[in-house]
């Protein structure tokens, strides 16, 4: 019987909240009764430098605590995309924030202007990390929405739970819209070929 292990990397600039996002994702996996390991690293510049959070989620034992062959990669800055996208699996899910990532190394990426859409919806980019978790949850189904909402409510500053949960739901909506647009484009391409 094979066990499912999923390696996830969230990468962006220091200050985008991706370390917090990784902690929330790890907590959600625990709430879903899965095994999890979470680690993080910052560039030497801290704020503004490339940073990443890695989360390994498994049904069974986790034998190595670092991501080696990534199943899901979220890039929220060009520098992080360039620096950390080298070991994503061929069939891995690649999510990019096109607000800051202009050179995308694959045509199969889930490309959404996460930060710009967050700024337009909430007036600031502060919630982009939570919107990104909504996108990831909807696009990947690696943890349940219920567990992620509980982890968000537990981890965000008191008094901001409601707006953070709105940001999460908004991210799910962005992912659904992106998938719908992708499916429509595929249908048009198929129709043009016939």
The count of structural domains within the chain is 1
Q: Is 6 helix (H, G, I), strand (E, B) or coil?
A: strand
Q: What is the DSSP letter of 3?
A: P
Grade residue 107 by pLDDT with cuts at 50, 70 and 90.
Answer: confident
Quick one: what percent of the chain has pLDDT higher than 70? 89
Q: How far is CA 143 from the centre of its chain?
A: 12
**CATH (domain of 39):** 3.40.920.10
User: Can you tell me the distance from the alpha carbon of 171 to that of 50, in angstroms, rounded to the nearest whole number?
Assistant: 23
CA distances in angstroms from 66 to 37, 70, 99, 143, listed in the order given: 8, 10, 28, 19
Q: What is the mean pLDDT of the chain?
A: 90
Domain range holding 181? 5-193
Grade residue 45 by pLDDT with cuts at 50, 70 and 90.
Answer: low
And the tokens for 183? 């499916």
pLDDT tens, residue by residue, 122-176: 999 999 999 999 999 999 999 999 999 999 999 999 999 999 999 999 999 999 9
């Amino acid at each position: 019987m094979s066990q499912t292990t999923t390696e996830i990397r969230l990468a962006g600039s220091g200050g985008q909240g991706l370390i917090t996002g990784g902690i929330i994702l790890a907590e959600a996996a625990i709430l879903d009764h899965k095994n999890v390991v979470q680690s993080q690293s910052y560039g030497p510049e801290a704020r503004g430098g490339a940073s990443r959070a890695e989360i390994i989620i498994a049904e069974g034992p986790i034998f190595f605590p670092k991501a080696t062959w990534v199943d899901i990669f979220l890039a929220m800055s060009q520098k992080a995309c360039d620096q950390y996208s080298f070991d994503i699996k061929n069939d891995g899910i690649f999510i990019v924030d096109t607000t800051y990532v202009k050179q995308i190394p694959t045509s199969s990426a889930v490309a959404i202007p996460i930060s710009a859409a967050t700024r337009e919806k909430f007036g600031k980019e502060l919630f982009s990390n939570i919107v990104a978790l909504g996108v990831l949850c909807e696009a990947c189904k690696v943890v349940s929405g219920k567990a992620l909402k509980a982890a968000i409510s537990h981890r965000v500053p008191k008094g901001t739970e409601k707006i953070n949960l709105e940001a999460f739901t908004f991210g799910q909506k962005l992912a659904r819209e992106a998938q719908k647009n992708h499916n429509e484009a595929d249908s048009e391409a198929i129709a043009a070929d016939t």
